[in-house]
A and B are shown apart, each in its own frame.
Chain A
Amino acid sequence: MTTPVLSIRNLSVEIPTRQGIVKPVDGVSYDISEGEILGVVGESGAGKSMAGNAVIGLLNAPAHISGGEIWLNGVRIDPLKGEEMRKLRGKEIGMIFQDPLTSLNPLLTVGDQLAETMLTHLPISRKEAAERAVAALEEVGIPGAAERIDSYPHEFSGGMRQRVVIALALCAEPSLVIADEPTTALDVSVQAQIISLLKRLCRERGTAVMLITHDMGVIAEAADRVAVMYAGRLAELGNVRDVLTQPRHPYTHGLMASTPLASEGQKRLHQIPGAMPRLQHMPNGCAFHPRCPKVQKRCSHDPLPPMAEGRAACWSPLLAEAVE
């Protein structure tokens, strides 16, 4: 088997607070292969963005990686600091955030930003960079790219800005793109455009994508595999069709069932009782056990069973017969 582009092993993130140390990410492991889109899904507070930020080395102090390993193309990157990490970030990892304006410099034209990024990371001439910048804008579907190259970010609409960000994230030809809620701020029709663009470009270039979102619909349409997170831990990992249609973890099941579409024709929506636990008051054992319909005695104290592809971190998974 070839080495995955990104491999996260037992990653934990800690934040020291007044009430003690909290763990927004707790022992998460997953791989992403070349050309694959891994959807990371979970509700707010699940730690999905925090895990993404840990990979890019963008954790805000005092949050820090407290355990585990991150491997990128066979190189361990979590111990990298400052300058090394910054180089790697631009070259090997592209980033797309929810708000396009956070990743664009308002004082530079988009052409300058694209050329600058390419010059920093690729062995090309200034002239070549300028040409490639236009090509990059064309590729993400910005009409009249040659003219718009000298525009500033604020002169673009929200959807167009997100296209520019995608061009910027991909222009240094990274092997991994982390897209954190890339379409949450966009309208439905624009969201569809952006998702299909992201899918097309990454397939063409063989870029691995970590697609972080709370939207199950986006995951279903875009992702190849999906990692479901709950309270900082991985609840379930597997092929997107399997996880969404035949969830093994009671949390995934509840989540799918509570979307209005799933309860079509029913008067009431399925409800998961209770709320996501606060980080300071994380339950022992499985973090989901106080809300779980299939809770057993051991769930409240035993550590979770080991996770693997196509399995759920659960003592009483649904479809138990399918799990050996």
Chain B
Amino acid sequence: MSDAQMTTRAKDKSRWERFRESDFFYAFKRSPIALVSFTVVCILVLSAVFAPLIAPTNPFDPASLNLMNGFTAPMEPNAFTQETFLMGTDDQGRDVFSTILYGMRISLFVGVSAVLFAMVLGIILGLIAGYFGGWAETIIMRFADVQLTFPSILVAMLIFGIAKGFTPVEYRDQMAIWVLILAIGLSDWVQFARVVRGATLVEKSKDYVAAARLIGRSPWAIMIKHILPNALSPVLVIATISLALAIIAEATLSFLGVGAPPTQPSLGTLIRIGQGFLFSGEWWILFFPACTLLALALSVNLLGDWLRDALNPRLR
């Protein structure tokens, strides 16, 4: 659009208009990887969200289960009931396709919540460390350094174990999901804190922050309103890549049997259940959940990689 048009327009451009005109959106439209992975993520997320509408059966409703349907191979009629299932059924006659849709809900819910939790924690601690410096910074960043020396899956298992010890037995299954979110989130806040601290140090030295101090704005107002919006691009990149990692971490924990309980199976739980049948010929019980996990983690990760390149070439 021309300069003249821009100056005569009285109305401010909305966020959406600015997004449509941005280099970011332009780069997105022209990147096949971004388009494909974004589409895959959208399809997977939407089908997880609308699982009750899409899934042929509710695999957790005992009334709809028929044990006679057990071990039906994909697209082959069951020997007893003559029913066919897209991806077959497991030992209890649950439709694998439906369990995947429901399992993905759990996986995504845990992954997204854990990343949000880690993000909020990391942003707050990173802002404090970067803006105030001194002792607060030393304590936060040294603690982060120490935590980084442990594999995050180990940290998550540790937190999971401790939390389990504190929950009464009867609530354990209900609490398992929340404990999982806490465990993965706590193992993941460090990189958010580091990136936000780094960005805060850079932004803090810029004169717009000096100008805000000059008119007497409080440190919190400066951190939240001035610095944070300028530190968000790298956070977004890390959040996306972390989401892929969190989904995998959740699957790993569930696969190890310390994650989502069998009553609320996630993709990881399904894979754990499925691997027991792999060598007895019922490959589909493992294969389809594993493929779904792969597609989900890979496309989120590719999207994250692309975001990193598009938003901040220096991070490469």
Contacts and interface: CB of A to CB of B under 8 A. Distances in A.
Tell me, yes or no, whether A binds B. Answer: yes
Interface of A: 18, 278, 281
A281 B5 CA distance: 12
Nearest to B26: A18
Contacts of B23: 18
Nearest to A19: B1
Interface in B63-114: none
A281 B26 contact: no
B205 interface: no
Contacts of B3: 278, 281
B2 interface: yes
Interface of B is mostly: helix
Nearest to B21: A18
5 contacts: A18-B23, A18-B26, A278-B3, A281-B2, A281-B3
* 5 interchain residue pairs of minimum CB distance: A281-B3, A18-B26, A281-B2, A18-B23, A278-B3
A279 to B, nearest CB: 12
Contacts of A278: 3
Interface of A is mostly: loop
B22 to A, nearest CB: 10
Interface of B: 2-3, 23, 26
Nearest to A17: B23
Nearest to A18: B26
Contacts of B26: 18
Contacts of A281: 2-3
A154 to B, nearest CB: 21
Contacts of A18: 23, 26
A278 B3 CA distance: 10
A281 B1 CA distance: 10
Nearest to B3: A281
A18 to B, nearest CB: 6
A18 B27 CA distance: 10
B225 to A, nearest CB: 30
Contacts of B2: 281
A278 B6 CA distance: 14
A18 B22 CA distance: 11
A281 B4 CA distance: 10
B23 to A, nearest CB: 7
A16 to B, nearest CB: 13
A278 B26 CA distance: 21
A11 B2 CA distance: 28
A65 to B, nearest CB: 25
A231 to B, nearest CB: 15
Nearest to B30: A18
B6 to A, nearest CB: 10
Nearest to A277: B3
A60 to B, nearest CB: 13
A233 B66 CA distance: 82
A18 B3 CA distance: 16
B313 to A, nearest CB: 13
A281 B7 CA distance: 14
A163 B223 CA distance: 42
A18 B25 CA distance: 12
A163 to B, nearest CB: 29
A31 to B, nearest CB: 37
A281 B2 CA distance: 8
A68 to B, nearest CB: 29
A281 B3 CA distance: 8
A18 B30 CA distance: 11
B7 to A, nearest CB: 12
A159 B103 CA distance: 66
A70 to B, nearest CB: 30
A293 B108 CA distance: 65
B28 to A, nearest CB: 13
B310 to A, nearest CB: 14
A278 B23 CA distance: 18
Nearest to B2: A281
A40 B26 CA distance: 36
A52 to B, nearest CB: 25
A164 to B, nearest CB: 28
Nearest to A278: B3
